Amino acid sequence: MAAARQTAIRATGLEKRYRSGDAELVVFSDLELEVAQGERLAIVGESGAGKSTLLHLLGGLDRPTKGTIYFGEKELTKLGDAELAEFRNREIGFVWQSHYLLPEFTALENVMMPLLIRGVAAETAAEVARARLQEVGLGQRLHHRAGELSGGEQQRVALARALVGGPRVLLADEPTGNLDARTGEMIIALLAEMHHAHGLTSVYVTHNLSFARRCDRVLKLEGGMLSGLDESSGSGSHPRN
């Protein structure tokens, strides 16, 4: 019998509330989630269900109202802002629906940025960034600015940037949302390839059920709860952590 995989991410008793004037919005409360090391997890659900909010919490970009988030044995919710920023830079890669490339910089310079922020020497950062861009098929586009690249190429630059720091975890929010079907399929294949090549743990938020069902596990966020996806109807079924 194969040994159980270690837990890469664990969220316990997670709650997120927003206040707007006298009103309070509860996005979710007492939410539980475990992601195994090396797993590809897809989170689906209707717009406004809180999927992106959950991803932001898991990535340390926002803090929960209550609850704890662990990466391995490290409790993210206890880290100060500076510690959290350094942790994100070293341990987590992010890919968004919009690529958020800096338009005045080349593809190479955009991918170098996380390493430069870390304090890596420019020559070393350029060497690593060049390798990541070659890995996503953009070795001939190193010195093109964002506006000179197609949508699919821009998203590949964003993926190279997410991987340049050697993260253990990749978090992606609607990574194919702004792409046509053919280009989206290319990005889906590339995400799978990079997941295995870099030994990642990956969590994807997506509306694309075809993409989601190619992952190891699919959870649906609905009514503030996570549940397994009913393959016959696409609706939530039995709760899963």
The better pLDDT of the pair 98, 231 is held by 98
Spatial contact of 63 and 57, defined as CB atoms under 8 Å apart? yes
Q: Please state the rounded mean pLDDT for residues 199-206.
A: 97
Q: What CATH number is associated with residue 62?
A: 3.40.50.300
pLDDT tens by residue, 67-93: 999 998 899 989 999 999 999 999 999
Residue 237: what pLDDT?
A: 36
pLDDT band at 234 (very low <50, low <70, confident <90, very high): very low
* Mean pLDDT, rounded, of the chain: 90
Number of Cβ within a 10 Å radius of residue 27: 21
DSSP 8-77: EEEEEEEEEEEEETTEEEEEEEEEEEEEETT-EEEEE--TTSSHHHHHHHHTTSS--SEEEEEETTEEGG
Total number of domains in the chain: 1
For residue 98, what are the domain limits?
39-67+79-239
Share of the chain above pLDDT 90, in %: 79
Q: Is residue 54 part of a domain?
A: yes
User: pTM for this one?
Assistant: 0.90
pLDDT tens by residue, 180-194: 999 999 999 999 999
Q: Is residue 6 part of a domain?
A: no
Q: Is residue 189 part of a domain?
A: yes
Question: Does 232 score more than 60 pLDDT?
Answer: no
Q: Is residue 21 part of a domain?
A: no
Q: Is residue 141 part of a domain?
A: yes
Residue 20: what pLDDT?
A: 78
Q: Is residue 129 part of a domain?
A: yes
Nearest CA to 107 out of 55, 156, 67 is that of 156
Residue 130: what pLDDT?
A: 97
Spatial contact of 195 and 37, defined as CB atoms under 8 Å apart? no
Q: Is residue 224 part of a domain?
A: yes
Q: Is residue 150 part of a domain?
A: yes
